[in-house]
Amino acid sequence: MSDSRVHLKRRFLRLAVAVAVVPGTLAIAAVSLTVGSAAAGAAGCGVVLGTPQSTGALGSIVFVVPTAPAVAGEACNANVSVTGTIATAGGTRPSNVVGNGVPSSVTISFMPGQPGPDLLWQWSPHCADPASLPYDFFASVQGSGATSISIAGAASPCSSFGNVSSATLHAPIVSVPNPETYVGMAGGDGNLGYWLVRRGGGVSPYGTSTNLGMPFGNVAVAGVASAGGGGYWMATADGGVFSYGAPFHGSMGGTTLNAPIVGIAATPDHGGYWLAAADGGVYAFGDAAFYGSVPGVLPPGASLNQPVVGIASTQDGKGYWMVASDGGVFSFGDAHFWGSVGGTHLNKPVVGMAQNNVGGYWLVASDGGIFSFNATFYGSTGSIVLNQPVTGMAATNDGNGYWMVAADGGIFAFGDAPFWGSGG
């Protein structure tokens, strides 16, 4: 840890009240951001289901079930068991519906202030026995109550294909909110291009950068990092890492996490990467060394004022910074703490950060405002009304400029950062 971090840790040992020794760094807070275990239920990092809705026509009905964290304002990755059940109004399950009432394991990520994902069950009905209407669909999550919807009238479950031996209630999928939203970017080799990534996994290359692949399925992309040589890594909220034109060094996919992954940063030699979680947890892979994390320096039971939203590596790869949405900065390894905007009134929350290759860093807010610390200010969009909020930034290879990307794919280039096009 840096000297400021060690000093802060010593102060934590003496104080048991809310405190920020260095403005904008670590502050003990009781309720602002809760990170619990991954067990479902009425408390902790759990999931509650909203009222289902049904869409579709004859032969195919999709049940859309919204989710919410068990505790309001929670940031977590919840690995839960969910069950969908088709039954008659009297509670009888049709005997020929494959997958009916079968539990499925899914991972659902929550960030404070953002909508939760939907669960989608598709029913391919074929005059299921018994055929009397109405049918009810029940959705439940382990440790919590069930929610249901009745299907009648125009949404008849009887397929136009006639009587067959069985119907199917397909396993649920997780539908992330706003999958077309751009959530991050990474610069390509020599500042000759960049990649923009969408929450649902889409990749938009510009300049000499090329699309080498993208994840498909139930993904919630959290960030992208250049791997050098034209390749890149993409990280997802559940800790998965997807490698394209780059070696795979490992991931947290399939592991229960207290909080979702919110960012990825590559080592300077592109031999590894770090993943940062919303609670300030850090996971190191390849030649990326672990230098500490926020939970490791917080006293038991303490939590952050606001979630971590980004991570950046130092120039030599022997340290890293993380930034929270309130502008607090956390430094580890040889990362020097140059300041933050934590404790300062912000017009909009901070959404990301980048380092400038000489030991400093920039923070970017959702209105495009830039905060420079031991780094040259090259401009911002803080005084401009944007069509969509800024969601991330990336620095040029020499650290003499930066790009910002907005939710609609708009690109704003400053300093020596060339504009290669945008998705806006």
The pLDDT tens digits of the residues spanning 60-87 come to: 789 999 999 888 888 888 889 999 998 8
Pick the more confident residue, 328 or 152.
Answer: 328
Domains 47-175 and 182-415 share a fold: no
Q: What is the H or E stretch that residue 385 is in?
A: none
Beta strand 231-236 with 241-244 is antiparallel
Q: Which segment of 74-83, 127-136, 246-255 scores lowest on mean pLDDT?
A: 127-136
As given in the structure block, the two tokens for residue 323 are 């930034």
Judged on CB neighbours under 10 Å (0-12, 13-18, 19+), 217 is exposed
For residue 374, give the 3-state DSSP assignment.
Answer: coil
Would you say domain 47-175 falls under CATH 2.60.40? Answer: yes
- Measure the CA–CA gap between 110 and 38, rounded to whole angstroms: 12
Q: Peptide bond before 268: cis, by omega within 30 degrees of 0? A: no
- 167: Cβ–Cβ under 8 A, 6 or more apart, which residues? 94, 96, 97, 98, 123, 124, 125, 126, 128, 157, 159
Pick the more confident residue, 401 or 55.
Answer: 401
Q: What is the pLDDT of residue 151?
A: 76
With beta carbons less than 8 A apart as the criterion, state whether 387 and 369 touch: no
Q: Where are the domains of the chain?
A: 47-175, 182-415
Confidence of residue 133 (pLDDT cuts 50, 70, 90): low
For the cut 80, the answer to whether the pLDDT of residue 132 exceeds it is no
- Measure the CA–CA gap between 68 and 91, rounded to whole angstroms: 27
> Which numeric CATH code is attached to 182-415?
2.130.10.10
